[in-house]
Amino acid sequence: MLKNRSVPGKKLKPNTITGKQVRESRLAKVRRAALADRATTSDQAAVADRALTAEALGGAAPADFERTGRLLRFAVRMQNTDPEQTLFQAGPFTVKASCVLSGGGVQNVFRVWAETTENDAAAGRHNIAGDSAAEPDFDVGEDFVVSEAQEGGTPPNPSGVFRIDASLFSPSGTHVLMEVGQGGRLFSANASERVHCTFAGFAVVS
Protein backbone atom coordinates (compact mmCIF):
# COMPACT_ATOMS: atom_id res chain seq x y z
CA MET A 1 0.00 0.00 0.00
CA LEU A 2 1.23 3.48 -0.91
CA LYS A 3 1.70 6.04 1.80
CA ASN A 4 -0.17 9.32 1.53
CA ARG A 5 1.68 11.95 -0.49
CA SER A 6 4.52 9.53 -1.41
CA VAL A 7 4.14 9.28 -5.22
CA PRO A 8 6.28 11.70 -7.27
CA GLY A 9 4.65 13.53 -10.14
CA LYS A 10 6.57 11.70 -12.85
CA LYS A 11 4.88 8.45 -11.82
CA LEU A 12 1.41 9.83 -12.54
CA LYS A 13 -0.57 9.61 -15.73
CA PRO A 14 -1.20 12.95 -17.49
CA ASN A 15 -4.42 14.79 -16.79
CA THR A 16 -5.36 12.71 -13.74
CA ILE A 17 -4.69 15.14 -10.89
CA THR A 18 -7.24 17.75 -9.71
CA GLY A 19 -7.97 19.75 -6.61
CA LYS A 20 -5.65 19.93 -3.63
CA GLN A 21 -2.92 17.86 -5.25
CA VAL A 22 -2.09 20.65 -7.72
CA ARG A 23 0.51 23.26 -6.83
CA GLU A 24 -1.09 26.23 -8.58
CA SER A 25 1.98 28.47 -8.30
CA ARG A 26 3.86 26.11 -10.61
CA LEU A 27 1.24 26.19 -13.35
CA ALA A 28 1.53 28.38 -16.43
CA LYS A 29 -1.56 30.32 -17.43
CA VAL A 30 -3.81 28.68 -19.92
CA ARG A 31 -4.34 30.59 -23.17
CA ARG A 32 -7.81 31.90 -22.38
CA ALA A 33 -6.72 33.18 -19.00
CA ALA A 34 -3.82 35.06 -20.62
CA LEU A 35 -6.23 36.58 -23.14
CA ALA A 36 -8.54 37.56 -20.32
CA ASP A 37 -5.64 39.28 -18.53
CA ARG A 38 -4.79 41.25 -21.66
CA ALA A 39 -8.43 42.25 -22.10
CA THR A 40 -8.58 43.34 -18.46
CA THR A 41 -5.40 45.39 -18.87
CA SER A 42 -6.79 46.99 -22.03
CA ASP A 43 -10.07 47.76 -20.32
CA GLN A 44 -8.26 49.27 -17.38
CA ALA A 45 -6.21 51.46 -19.73
CA ALA A 46 -9.36 52.63 -21.48
CA VAL A 47 -10.99 53.43 -18.15
CA ALA A 48 -7.87 55.34 -17.08
CA ASP A 49 -7.89 57.31 -20.36
CA ARG A 50 -11.55 58.21 -19.85
CA ALA A 51 -10.82 59.27 -16.29
CA LEU A 52 -7.96 61.53 -17.41
CA THR A 53 -10.14 63.03 -20.14
CA ALA A 54 -12.97 63.67 -17.70
CA GLU A 55 -10.53 65.30 -15.28
CA ALA A 56 -9.18 67.53 -18.04
CA LEU A 57 -12.74 68.54 -18.98
CA GLY A 58 -13.71 69.31 -15.41
CA GLY A 59 -15.73 66.14 -15.00
CA ALA A 60 -17.76 66.63 -18.18
CA ALA A 61 -17.84 64.11 -20.99
CA PRO A 62 -16.51 65.08 -24.43
CA ALA A 63 -20.06 64.93 -25.79
CA ASP A 64 -21.01 67.75 -23.43
CA PHE A 65 -18.73 70.01 -25.44
CA GLU A 66 -19.94 68.97 -28.87
CA ARG A 67 -22.18 71.27 -30.87
CA THR A 68 -24.27 70.19 -33.76
CA GLY A 69 -24.58 72.44 -36.76
CA ARG A 70 -26.58 72.55 -39.95
CA LEU A 71 -25.35 73.71 -43.31
CA LEU A 72 -28.05 75.42 -45.35
CA ARG A 73 -27.38 76.04 -49.02
CA PHE A 74 -29.39 78.38 -51.19
CA ALA A 75 -29.32 79.56 -54.80
CA VAL A 76 -32.02 82.01 -55.87
CA ARG A 77 -32.23 83.60 -59.30
CA MET A 78 -35.05 86.02 -59.86
CA GLN A 79 -36.17 88.52 -62.43
CA ASN A 80 -36.55 92.15 -61.47
CA THR A 81 -40.30 91.75 -61.73
CA ASP A 82 -40.47 88.88 -59.22
CA PRO A 83 -41.57 89.30 -55.60
CA GLU A 84 -39.08 89.05 -52.76
CA GLN A 85 -37.90 85.54 -51.95
CA THR A 86 -36.70 83.75 -48.83
CA LEU A 87 -33.10 82.57 -48.98
CA PHE A 88 -33.33 80.49 -45.79
CA GLN A 89 -34.97 80.26 -42.37
CA ALA A 90 -33.19 79.25 -39.16
CA GLY A 91 -34.65 79.47 -35.67
CA PRO A 92 -36.21 82.92 -35.25
CA PHE A 93 -34.40 84.30 -38.31
CA THR A 94 -35.60 84.57 -41.89
CA VAL A 95 -33.23 85.96 -44.50
CA LYS A 96 -34.79 87.37 -47.66
CA ALA A 97 -33.71 88.97 -50.92
CA SER A 98 -35.34 91.17 -53.53
CA CYS A 99 -34.50 92.39 -57.02
CA VAL A 100 -36.45 95.37 -58.31
CA LEU A 101 -36.07 97.73 -61.24
CA SER A 102 -35.05 101.26 -60.33
CA GLY A 103 -37.15 104.30 -61.10
CA GLY A 104 -35.06 104.96 -64.19
CA GLY A 105 -36.09 101.60 -65.56
CA VAL A 106 -32.65 100.26 -66.53
CA GLN A 107 -30.93 99.41 -63.24
CA ASN A 108 -31.61 96.66 -60.76
CA VAL A 109 -31.66 97.27 -57.01
CA PHE A 110 -30.43 94.35 -54.90
CA ARG A 111 -31.45 93.96 -51.29
CA VAL A 112 -30.71 91.27 -48.69
CA TRP A 113 -32.14 91.54 -45.18
CA ALA A 114 -32.96 89.53 -42.08
CA GLU A 115 -36.11 89.40 -39.97
CA THR A 116 -36.56 87.94 -36.50
CA THR A 117 -39.41 86.59 -34.41
CA GLU A 118 -37.41 87.00 -31.19
CA ASN A 119 -36.66 90.30 -29.44
CA ASP A 120 -33.19 91.27 -28.22
CA ALA A 121 -31.36 89.44 -30.99
CA ALA A 122 -28.10 90.76 -32.40
CA ALA A 123 -26.72 91.02 -35.93
CA GLY A 124 -23.64 92.13 -37.82
CA ARG A 125 -22.69 92.29 -41.50
CA HIS A 126 -20.30 93.27 -44.28
CA ASN A 127 -22.05 94.49 -47.44
CA ILE A 128 -20.82 94.35 -51.05
CA ALA A 129 -18.75 97.50 -50.50
CA GLY A 130 -17.04 95.93 -47.48
CA ASP A 131 -18.72 98.32 -45.07
CA SER A 132 -19.48 96.91 -41.61
CA ALA A 133 -22.50 97.47 -39.41
CA ALA A 134 -23.88 95.89 -36.24
CA GLU A 135 -27.23 95.89 -34.46
CA PRO A 136 -27.02 94.81 -30.81
CA ASP A 137 -30.80 95.14 -30.28
CA PHE A 138 -32.47 93.46 -33.24
CA ASP A 139 -36.19 93.15 -32.46
CA VAL A 140 -39.41 91.76 -33.91
CA GLY A 141 -40.80 93.96 -36.70
CA GLU A 142 -37.38 95.33 -37.70
CA ASP A 143 -35.37 94.59 -40.82
CA PHE A 144 -31.64 94.17 -40.47
CA VAL A 145 -30.33 95.19 -43.88
CA VAL A 146 -27.38 92.99 -44.79
CA SER A 147 -26.74 94.68 -48.13
CA GLU A 148 -28.52 97.07 -50.47
CA ALA A 149 -27.07 98.32 -53.74
CA GLN A 150 -28.08 99.63 -57.12
CA GLU A 151 -26.44 98.91 -60.44
CA GLY A 152 -24.74 101.77 -62.26
CA GLY A 153 -24.48 102.76 -65.91
CA THR A 154 -26.94 103.03 -68.78
CA PRO A 155 -27.39 100.18 -69.39
CA PRO A 156 -25.23 98.71 -66.64
CA ASN A 157 -22.48 96.27 -67.50
CA PRO A 158 -22.66 92.74 -66.14
CA SER A 159 -21.99 93.06 -62.42
CA GLY A 160 -20.70 90.85 -59.63
CA VAL A 161 -20.19 88.43 -58.21
CA PHE A 162 -20.12 90.42 -54.96
CA ARG A 163 -19.52 88.89 -51.55
CA ILE A 164 -21.75 89.55 -48.53
CA ASP A 165 -21.46 88.02 -45.07
CA ALA A 166 -23.44 88.37 -41.86
CA SER A 167 -23.85 86.95 -38.36
CA LEU A 168 -27.12 86.57 -36.46
CA PHE A 169 -27.49 85.66 -32.77
CA SER A 170 -30.66 85.03 -30.75
CA PRO A 171 -31.06 84.97 -26.94
CA SER A 172 -32.51 81.47 -27.21
CA GLY A 173 -29.26 80.18 -28.67
CA THR A 174 -29.53 80.18 -32.46
CA HIS A 175 -26.32 81.35 -34.12
CA VAL A 176 -26.12 81.90 -37.89
CA LEU A 177 -23.04 82.62 -39.98
CA MET A 178 -23.90 83.29 -43.61
CA GLU A 179 -22.11 84.08 -46.85
CA VAL A 180 -23.82 85.27 -50.01
CA GLY A 181 -22.54 85.72 -53.54
CA GLN A 182 -24.64 88.39 -55.25
CA GLY A 183 -24.66 88.98 -58.98
CA GLY A 184 -26.74 90.77 -61.58
CA ARG A 185 -26.96 90.83 -65.39
CA LEU A 186 -24.47 88.00 -65.59
CA PHE A 187 -26.04 85.62 -68.05
CA SER A 188 -26.29 87.26 -71.45
CA ALA A 189 -24.35 89.47 -73.85
CA ASN A 190 -27.66 91.12 -74.72
CA ALA A 191 -28.39 93.94 -72.28
CA SER A 192 -32.14 93.57 -72.79
CA GLU A 193 -31.94 90.01 -71.42
CA ARG A 194 -29.90 90.84 -68.34
CA VAL A 195 -32.89 91.10 -66.07
CA HIS A 196 -31.85 88.65 -63.36
CA CYS A 197 -30.51 89.02 -59.86
CA THR A 198 -28.73 86.06 -58.31
CA PHE A 199 -28.19 85.26 -54.64
CA ALA A 200 -26.30 82.07 -53.86
CA GLY A 201 -24.43 80.89 -50.79
CA PHE A 202 -24.70 79.06 -47.50
CA ALA A 203 -25.45 79.52 -43.83
CA VAL A 204 -24.02 77.58 -40.90
CA VAL A 205 -26.59 77.29 -38.12
CA SER A 206 -25.66 76.16 -34.62
In tens, the pLDDT along 121-155 reads 999 999 988 899 999 999 999 999 999 988 876 66
- 3-class SS at 100? strand
Sorted by where each begins, the domain ranges of the chain are: 24-64, 70-205
pLDDT score for 188: 59
Tell me how far apart the alpha carbons of residues 13 and 28 are, in angstroms, rounded to a whole number. 19
Instruction: Please state the pTM of the whole predicted model.
Output: 0.64
Measure the CA angle with vertex 181, ends 175 and 183; round to 5°.
145
pLDDT (tens digit per residue) in 162-195 = 899 999 999 999 999 999 999 887 665 665 555 6
Tell me how far apart the alpha carbons of residues 76 and 199 are, in angstroms, rounded to a whole number. 5
Tell me how far apart the alpha carbons of residues 143 and 3 are, in angstroms, rounded to a whole number. 105
Tell me if 156 sits within 8 A of 185, measured CB to CB: yes
DSSP string, 106-149: S-EEEEEEEEESSTTEEEEEE-TT--EEEEEEE-TT--EEEEEE
